[in-house]
Amino acid sequence: MTTVAAQPGPFTFEPAHTALVMIDMQRDFIEPGGFGATLGNDVSLLLPVVAAAADLVAWARTQGIVIVHTKECHRPDLSDCPPAKRLRGLPSLRIGDMGAMGRILIDGEPGADFVPQLAPQTGDVVIKKPGKGAFYATPLSAVLEGKGITHLIFGGVTTEVCVQTTMREANDRGYECLLVEEATGSYFPEFKEQALAMVRAQGGIVGWTAALAALTGA
Ligand code: TIU
């Protein structure tokens, strides 16, 4: 058993029954010319997350923790992209349109791939997801059940969109969830702070948060 100094209190887990879920560390969200940028965001705000997320993955490997990388993407024919998602807002390019890194958010295109520092390694699990939450329309539940996972450690982008949605889905499914503070980020720094506060409020209504050093030093 490992115990981390977390908020709102200690988070205890067994590495053999824990998975790290690294959410959507894709070029489309982090590099210029991708999906995040088409929505009008300053994607440079996510750059500091990359090193911390890579450190978190490297630590998880040393612990033998299962590593899951999620990837928000759609089929080339857009059959898994609801019009409500594609037509929302006034982006400069919509999902499926040709951009600087290939078609926006389409599986197999350079933009939908992971940033090099977060590239999956042999034995890691990769979950392609059409929604913001990683449990919707994916095999994630079955994969975690098959591996006897009870605890999840989260990082990735963006905190209040795909990370928070997935963490809430996981919490409702009975997983004990920990979000690593430096390993997640938002285009809106105030949303990140509020999302962290929402997770740990009310006695940990969604789960726990901890600093990376608290986890790796535990
Ligand atoms: N727009 C935004 O903040 N996020 C997303 O669209 N997807 C993820 O968070 N991965």
136 Cα: distance to centroid of ligand 1 (angstroms): 15
* pLDDT score at 189: 98
* Residue 24 annotated to the active site: yes
CA distance 161 to 76: 23
Q: Which atom of ligand 1 is nearest to the CA of 26?
A: 10
Q: Which atom of ligand 1 is nearest to the CA of 187?
A: 3
Rounded to an integer, the average pLDDT of 155-166 is 98
Rounded to an integer, the average pLDDT of 62-91 is 98
Spatial neighbors of 59 by CB under 8 A, at least 6 apart, are: 215, 216
List residues bridging with 153 in a β-sheet. 20, 178
* pLDDT score at 90: 95
| Pair type for strands 66-72 and 151-157 | unpaired
Residue-wise pLDDT for 9-32, tens only, equals: 999 999 999 999 999 999 999 999
* pLDDT score at 144: 98
- Of 71, 128, 129, 192, the catalytic one is 129
Q: 3: which 2 tokens?
A: 């115990």
CA distance 88 to 168: 23
Does residue 161 line the site of ligand 1, with CB under 6 A? yes
Rounded to an integer, the average pLDDT of 178-186 is 99
* Residue 177 annotated to the active site: no
Residue of 138, 162, 168, 169 best suited for mutating to test ligand 1, as the one with most atoms within 8 Å of CB: 162
Does residue 179 line the site of ligand 1, with CB under 6 A? no
How does residue 205 score in pLDDT terms, banded at 50, 70 and 90?
very high
Average pLDDT, the chain: 98
Rounded to an integer, the average pLDDT of 77-102 is 97
CA distance 61 to 81: 33
* pLDDT score at 212: 98
Residue-wise pLDDT for 74-87, tens only, equals: 999 999 999 999 99
Percentage of the chain exceeding pLDDT 90: 100
